[in-house]
Amino acid sequence: MCGIAGILSRDDKDVVPLLRDMLEAIKHRGPDGAGIVASGKVSRGRTIGELDWNSLSGSLAMGHTRLAVVGGAQGQQPLVSDDGQIFLLHNGEIYNYKTLRNHLKKHYHFATQTDSEVLVHLLSEHYTGDLWETVRRIIPELDGVYAIAATDGKDMVIARDLIGVKQLYWTENEKLAAFASEKKALWALDIRGNIHRLLPGEVMHLSSTGFETTRRTLDFLRPEEPTLHEFAEALEAYKIALGEAVQKRIPELEQVGIFFSGGVDSVLIAAIARQLGANITCYTAGVKDSHDIIFAREAAYQIGIPIRVNELDDQALLNSIVKAISYMEDRSLGQVEVAIPIIASTELAHQDGQIVLLTGQGADELFGGYSWYRCIIEQEGYDEFEFRMWDDLNQLYKETLEREDKITMAYGIELRVPFLDPQLIKVALAIDPHLKIRSPEDILGKYIHRALASSMGVPPEIAWRPKEAVQHGAGIHYRLVALAEKQGFERSVAEQVGYHMEKELEENLGSSQRYGFKYDTEGRWATQDHVQLWLDNLAYKHNLLNPEEEKKIGPYLREAAVLIH
């Protein structure tokens, strides 16, 4: 798990000084080392400052900041192929790297135990002069989550994993093309607009003349029709797939943490990890006496796993808001209120020296966990329900995964997502939707998922606990509303200045914000314009808005300040 960045000049200027600015912006992603490549020369060091910035120059440069998970102290990047033709940056984990290594070691010398070195030799094995074609050729062989960048000294090729667990952003104009793990690195180039996500499964060729892309989607995992209709058969297939998904994410780790809400998703992951012999600690956070804290403590006690709890007062909430906006590069209410307990839990994990955290994200989209899904079945039928789950699954990369990767990486921790293992997704998509939500009267949802938890010894009061969104279960949502209004940002203020959240934010993130409010309890997911205006004000006060955002919302904030004071 790392941070990567690269830049290519289109007017043949030296870009190495710009690359240093980019790496400084994302140095939090890699506390264990740094490296750069330019004009075929590599410099590596313990810190960005130790790199040989004075002697390196070139119109194409790439750099890396490293968090060592696989391979320990070995494996500083960029990595170079045996023939010196290909240079590689890699952020993420390749779970089948040992299998690939066994094939490659017959022909290549391995200097490290890292999964990243497997990638550079795999590229070398397929390379015939066209780097873009080479990267596209190896992608189907990889089982893992990753953002990859490679160069042969002429062009840059970048790729993102199929699910989109690892994010990557890119930009271009007439003078340059660049990519980075976070937008901050591109903002360091004074580029604010025109920043794009590399899409999940996408491979992009960035050159001096332009760019071209190709993309592999999740469609190959989706059957034309469900094939697992019998409950017992479906349950066994799911049990095997989930066990394997957890197993591949915890090997060789001395300890592992789990985001733990006391809900069935995280408890199931914890129960399986414990059965596999992992040394587990659970982490949860929220307002004192919130439902998640109460249930998490009870669940951890019942299944015998240690837990650490971060109880948040109002000052801690305010501090976390500012951190959330900074880490996520996003100020939207729906994202911020979910981020707060994640940040507070991650802080505890960081104190404990954790470098990997497991999460239960993805279960709702695969097994029908959102409350509005049953309403969709009632009003529009199972076909629409399946479509909504599929669409939500495909939106996760920008709604959930980018948010939580950025948060955990701010503390030098890697996030792993067992429910989004491709083979598990394939099994889940093959399960008859009637085994997920049995009827419109099934208010709990995720029936087969809950049944698996129950069959594995999860207490019934946990396995069948109704889902509660984290911002509600942790007591965050209504506390933020109260804090906004306490500081003068009443609903009437947003109305008087004409502020509407949906118009002022770039996109609505989260199933509830995109369409769930149409089906669920009236008002529960309603747009909170005045709370968003307060968040905008906090972002402005802490210099977390880019110039375009300041220009857009500045008039609202100035007018609101007059009304409040």
Q: Helix count (H) and strand count (E) of the chain?
A: 24, 18
CA dist 530 and 389 (Å) reads 31
Q: Where residue 75 falls among pLDDT bands split at 50, 70, 90? A: low
Average pLDDT over residues 192-209: 90
Of the listed ranges 186-200, 464-478, 516-530, the one predicted with least confidence: 516-530
More reliable by pLDDT, 193 or 488: 488
- Give the residue from 251, 255, 257, 254 showing the smallest Cα distance to 269: 257
- Give percent of the chain with pLDDT exceeding 90: 76
In contact, 508 and 502? CB cutoff 8 Å: yes
Q: What is the DSSP letter of 431?
A: B
Res. 66: pLDDT tops 90: no
- For 523-558, give the DSSP string: TTT---HHHHHHHHHHHHHTT-S-HHHHHHHHHHHH
CA–CA distances in Å: residue 401 to residues 130, 132, 390, 406, 408: 31, 26, 16, 8, 11
Average pLDDT over residues 186-212: 89
> Which amino acid belongs to residue 47?
T
| Residue with tokens 């951190």, as numbered in its chain | 323
Of the listed ranges 211-225, 274-288, 336-350, 502-516, the one predicted with least confidence: 502-516
Of the listed ranges 402-406, 431-435, 521-525, the one predicted with least confidence: 521-525
Res. 316: pLDDT tops 60: yes
The dihedral through the CA atoms of 529, 534, 540, 542 has a sign that is: negative
CA dist 220 and 97 (Å) reads 22
- With residue 192 as reference, give the H or E element that holds it: none
Domain range summary for the chain, segments of one domain joined by +: 2-216, 220-466+475-549
494: helix, strand or coil: helix
What tens digit of pLDDT does each residue of 140-152 get?
A: 999 999 999 999 9
Taking the alpha carbons at both ends of the chain, their separation in whole angstroms is 47
Mean pLDDT, all residues of the chain: 91
Q: Where residue 522 falls among pLDDT bands split at 50, 70, 90? A: low
- Token digits for 321? 């808001």
Tell me: cis bond preceding 78? Omega within 30 of 0 counts: yes
In contact, 449 and 367? CB cutoff 8 Å: yes
Res. 103: pLDDT tops 50: yes
- With residue 237 as reference, give the H or E element that holds it: helix 231-247
Average pLDDT over residues 74-88: 85
In contact, 305 and 329? CB cutoff 8 Å: no
Q: What is the pLDDT of residue 523?
A: 59
Q: Is residue 383 packed enough to be buried (19+ CB in 10 Å), middle (13-18) or exposed (0-12)?
A: exposed
Res. 516: pLDDT tops 70: yes
Res. 552: pLDDT tops 50: yes
Average pLDDT over residues 278-285: 96
| Residue with tokens 């968090």, as numbered in its chain | 67
In contact, 35 and 44? CB cutoff 8 Å: yes
What tens digit of pLDDT does each residue of 328-380 get?
A: 999 999 999 999 999 999 999 999 999 999 999 999 999 999 999 999 999 99
Describe the crossing of helices 333-351 and 477-486 by its angle, rounded to 10 degrees: 110
Q: What is the DSSP letter of 399?
A: I
- Reading phi first (left if > 0) and then psi (alpha if -120 to 50, else beta), residue 195 is in beta
- Give the residue from 243, 277, 264 showing the smallest Cα distance to 453: 264
Q: Are strands 356-358 and 414-416 parallel, antiparallel or unpaired?
A: parallel
Average pLDDT over residues 19-25: 94
CA dist 450 and 265 (Å) reads 9
Q: What is the DSSP letter of 255?
A: -
In contact, 531 and 544? CB cutoff 8 Å: no
Res. 419: pLDDT tops 50: yes
424: helix, strand or coil: helix
| Residue with tokens 């199931």, as numbered in its chain | 268
Res. 521: pLDDT tops 70: no
More reliable by pLDDT, 365 or 109: 365
Q: Where residue 525 falls among pLDDT bands split at 50, 70, 90? A: low
- Give the residue from 113, 126, 110, 114 showing the smallest Cα distance to 89: 114
Q: Where residue 74 falls among pLDDT bands split at 50, 70, 90? A: low
> Could you confirm whether domain 220-466+475-549 is CATH 3.40.50.620?
yes
Res. 89: pLDDT tops 80: yes
Q: What is the pLDDT of residue 73?
A: 47
Q: What is the pLDDT of residue 383?
A: 96
- Give the residue from 326, 404, 290 showing the smallest Cα distance to 358: 404
CA dist 257 and 270 (Å) reads 9
Q: Where residue 510 falls among pLDDT bands split at 50, 70, 90? A: confident
Partners of 283 in beta bridges: 259, 308
CA–CA distances in Å: residue 208 to residues 21, 75, 87, 88, 478: 21, 30, 18, 19, 51
CA dist 536 and 528 (Å) reads 12
Of the listed ranges 82-96, 396-410, 487-501, 506-520, the one predicted with least confidence: 506-520
In contact, 177 and 170? CB cutoff 8 Å: yes
What tens digit of pLDDT does each residue of 248-259 get?
A: 999 878 899 999
Res. 290: pLDDT tops 90: yes
Q: 2-216, what's its fold?
A: Glutamine Phosphoribosylpyrophosphate, subunit 1, domain 1 (3.60.20)
Res. 503: pLDDT tops 80: no
Q: Model pTM?
A: 0.92
